[in-house]
Chain A
Amino acid sequence: MLRALFITFALGLAVTNNSAHAQVLKVAGPWEVTGIDPAQTGYVFSRLQVAETLVTADPEGKLIPALAERWSVSEDALTWRFTLRDKARFHDGTPVTAQTAAASLKRALSGVGVLSQAPVAEIVSEGRDVVIRLEKPFSALPAYLVHFSTIILAPSSFDASGKVRQIVGSGPYKVTSLTPPAKLELKDSGTWWGGKPGIAEVSYLAVGQGETRALMAESGETDLVFSMLPVSVDRLKENPGLDVKIATIPRTRILKVNAASVFFDDIEERQALSYAIDRVGITKVILRNPELAATQIFPPALKGWYASDLPPLSRDVARAKELLAEAGWTPGSDGVLEQDGKRFSVTLLTYSSWPELPPIATALQAQLREVGIEIKVSVGNSSEIPARHGDGTLEIGLVSRLYSIVPDPVGTLLQDYGPGGSDWGAMGWDNQEIQGLVAKLAVTTNPAERAPLQRRAVEILQQELPSIPVTWSELAIVSSKRITGVQVDPLEVNYGLAAIRWAK
């Protein structure tokens, strides 16, 4: 009797085990596959480990080898040499050669990805090495090669005209079917240099609505869901079948102000704006986490870029009013400030690609009204901010800015606070000192030499406020207890699916 029971139990276990191994890891996230050119949606293929870059970054942002086993730079800092792994193969069975890698990088260089912003003179292959020659020293180059637009694809990915027709990468998973824009099915490629992935099949579904994503996790239909809305997180945390993991990501919601306009040309005006903002209130109510109140531009998680000894940006309505008075603004009959007959009434432009931006904009509208600044909120398309930056008509914009486009924030700072500012950075604000600092950072590799430069740059941004930090961001990932080994990558380079296993 007992033996029969045991056998039944063992058989039952075996059956469940088998079915578990045949199962597909179901993943859902907000990103749609709109076009498969690496510059467009390379991040989907990089995060899901279909394609790889030469260099990658660990969750702390440290650069580690990916397709390139090691790299070095010449004495004059102008020639970089990336040595490829011997064992790396593409999904079509062909080896990853320096030649194919160089071809992918050249393509990235001529496109709109980040590599085109590095001072690259030429990219060639020499034996197992990809050699990149620069016009001037640029220490952040390896960090640029982490960017998804520089993924290395097999020659069979391209058609005769050089357009990407399919993604043939070198990662642990290969694409078995792609139904743009929503569905991507992956399978163990069997050719990865890093070994076999823990779960052989993955199915990715793009789900734009945050509420739907939460319900997918709760219904147990999906094992791993990325990017949860703050409102869902508390509810999901209480679910005994789910694990919620949260990481602060180097993305800051900032007010981009036109420092050339009469409203924001004085430091006092920008500081007053900052004092008028109730960051804790906004983060508590809209983001459900008061710790996301941005007391400076970079979050503490961005090591070396957060200066804990700087006075934090905080709310002080009285001080804000004082500063505005110093700048020459006096309250008019309806409480809105005036100067030489001009009302302090500006249009705040934002966009809905990030669902939290419009509610934050309306909260800011109410808070700034308290110090006599009238704000009209206009929600448009994300391209309107760069368009209005370009023609100089932007007054103030609420944007969500990512500082880890390349793992080294210098990459973003070079763009945002360089001469003339940029789409998502400064406008009408030129600061020679910060430009010098960033230029120096771009050629300095030694962390000890970099630290004081980074600190000074943060200090300038904190004092001058060319953009006013409002909140930091976090990434919430929900996984079912059926799986283990889930990691949150704050840089969102690679979600490490290959390391995930079915829970025993």
Chain B
Amino acid sequence: MRNFLVARLMQAGIVAMVVGALCFLLMRVLPGDAAMRIAAGRYGPDARIAEAADKVRLELGLDRPVLLQFLEWLGGLLRLDLGHSLVTGAPVVDELQVQLGASVWLAASALLISLLIGPVIGVFSGMKPGGITDRTGLAGAVVFRAIPPFVLGLILMFILSKQLGWLPPAGFGSPREIVLPALTLALGLAAMSSRVTRNSVAAVARTPYFAFARHKGLPEAIVVRRHGIRNAAIPVVSYLGLQAVYLVEGVVVVESLFAYPGIGHALVHAIVERDIPMVQGTALVMGLMFVAIAALVDAISLWLDPRFGRAA
């Protein structure tokens, strides 16, 4: 267990370095004058941008050597200081706290809803492959995975907010407002996880030990609970880790659509406005989140199937 933690921590350190350096490099390589972009981001498209850019360049020292600027960021990182946003002037940490917090809530809610939908449908489909549940589930999965999140979001808004008036179409801060964006993401997630669960349950259902449990006369519910779920869960849990990628991709679009101040929305703005410390901070936190999720998935898999641990 200790080795496991040390390895993960080292991984996190490497991720931080690589992500920080890559962001810095990529933002430098992008065409366009950074000071101009920052000025436009700060003062809007009606301002005298060229003049503002001169002040920005002076204020932020953007014409200093690139290497020096990168070393400064690295030094800050070692002191756990991510710097200040070039556009808003607020500490990056403060901005991340709000935005990351909002996104984590959104992602967690989406994951929770998707777990209530996807695996449940998957288990029923997998128990009777080719049955009506399986076929309906497949059709649903294809539809919900194929619709891009922003279209799905608009459809849900239209039905649940405009026609039925149940939920607010946008905003944040209360549980009512998180439902729509979370549901939009959850349907896409559930589309995939229901199929993975279905395949995994179907595979387990074909195994000799599963047949034996049935033959020895256990009631179906106990067979599934005792011999099915845990075995079938292993690929599903690993897959949930991969779904974090889908979440990040979906979060960017969904947050903008639902006016939700999350990290995806912030990252897009930061890139457009060349807010390098924000891009670095956001990417860093996202990278570390992936490491954490991977670690969590490994730990759960280990608990589900202790053979992995013994083999290693």
A residues sitting closer than 8 Å to B (CB atoms) are 28, 34-37, 39-40, 111-112, 117, 163, 179-183, 205-209, 211-212, 215-216, 218-221, 351, 353-354, 380-384, 386-387, 389-390, 400-402, 405, 415, 422-424
Is the Cβ of A386 less than 8 Å from the Cβ of B259?
Answer: no
Report the nearest B residue to A412, measured CB to CB: B46
Partner of B48, one of A34, A211, A219, A422: A422
Asked if A35 meets B42 with Cβ closer than 8 Å, knowing A383-B32, A383-B53, the reply is: yes
Pairs across A and B, CB under 8 Å, 28 listed = A28-B170, A28-B259, A35-B87, A37-B42, A39-B43, A112-B39, A112-B43, A112-B55, A179-B173, A183-B172, A205-B170, A208-B259, A209-B259, A215-B154, A215-B157, A215-B158, A215-B162, A216-B161, A354-B45, A381-B272, A382-B45, A383-B32, A383-B33, A387-B32, A387-B33, A387-B36, A415-B48, A422-B48
Residue B73 lies at the interface, judged by CB distance under 8 Å to chain A: no
- A residues within 8 A CB of B259? 28, 182, 205-209, 212
- A residues within 8 A CB of B124? none
Residue B49 lies at the interface, judged by CB distance under 8 Å to chain A: yes
Query: A494 CA to B258 CA in the complex, in Å?
Result: 26
Is the Cβ of A219 less than 8 Å from the Cβ of B162?
Answer: yes
Q: A179-B173, A354-B45 are in contact. List 9 more A-B contacts (CB 8 A).
A: A34-B41, A35-B42, A112-B51, A112-B55, A208-B256, A212-B258, A221-B171, A383-B37, A383-B39
- B residues within 8 A CB of A218? 161-162
- B residues within 8 A CB of A209? 256-257, 259
- A residues within 8 A CB of B51? 112
Asked if A112 meets B170 with Cβ closer than 8 Å, knowing A34-B41, A351-B45, the reply is: no
Is the Cβ of A382 less than 8 Å from the Cβ of B49?
Answer: yes
Query: A400 CA to B95 CA in the complex, in Å?
Result: 31
B residues sitting closer than 8 Å to A (CB atoms) are 32-33, 36-37, 39-53, 55, 85, 87-90, 95, 98, 154, 157-158, 161-162, 165, 168-173, 256-261, 266, 269, 272
Report the nearest B residue to A30, measured CB to CB: B259
Report the nearest A residue to B169, measured CB to CB: A215
- B residues within 8 A CB of A181? 88, 261, 266, 269
Q: Which of A219, A351, A401 has the most chain B CB within a 10 Å cutoff?
A: A219
Asked if A216 meets B45 with Cβ closer than 8 Å, knowing A383-B40, A387-B33, A387-B36, the reply is: no
Query: A348 CA to B221 CA in the complex, in Å?
Result: 67
- A residues within 8 A CB of B257? 209, 212
Report the nearest A residue to B37, measured CB to CB: A383
- A residues within 8 A CB of B162? 215, 218-219
Q: Which of A28, A209, A401 has the most chain B CB within a 10 Å cutoff?
A: A209
Is the Cβ of B50 less than 8 Å from the Cβ of A219?
Answer: no
Is the Cβ of B32 less than 8 Å from the Cβ of A381?
Answer: yes
Query: A182 CA to B102 CA in the complex, in Å?
Result: 12
Q: Which of B43, B168, B170, B269 has the most chain A CB within a 10 Å cutoff?
A: B170
Is the Cβ of A219 less than 8 Å from the Cβ of B87?
Answer: no
A108 nearest CB across to chain B (Å): 13
Query: A214 CA to B159 CA in the complex, in Å?
Result: 14
- B residues within 8 A CB of A389? 50
Query: A229 CA to B22 CA in the complex, in Å?
Result: 38
Going nearest first, the 7 A-B pairs with the smallest beta carbon separation are A35-B88, A383-B40, A382-B45, A383-B36, A207-B259, A219-B161, A221-B168
Report the nearest B residue to A36, measured CB to CB: B88
Partner of A216, one of B50, B53, B169, B272: B169
Is the Cβ of A219 less than 8 Å from the Cβ of B169?
Answer: yes
- B residues within 8 A CB of A405? 46
Is the Cβ of A216 less than 8 Å from the Cβ of B43?
Answer: no
Query: A380 CA to B32 CA in the complex, in Å?
Result: 10
Query: A290 CA to B119 CA in the complex, in Å?
Result: 54
Query: A167 CA to B98 CA in the complex, in Å?
Result: 19
- A residues within 8 A CB of B50? 386-387, 389-390, 423
Is the Cβ of B36 less than 8 Å from the Cβ of A386?
Answer: yes
Report the nearest B residue to A111, measured CB to CB: B55
Report the nearest A residue to B85, measured CB to CB: A35
Query: A443 CA to B12 CA in the complex, in Å?
Result: 64
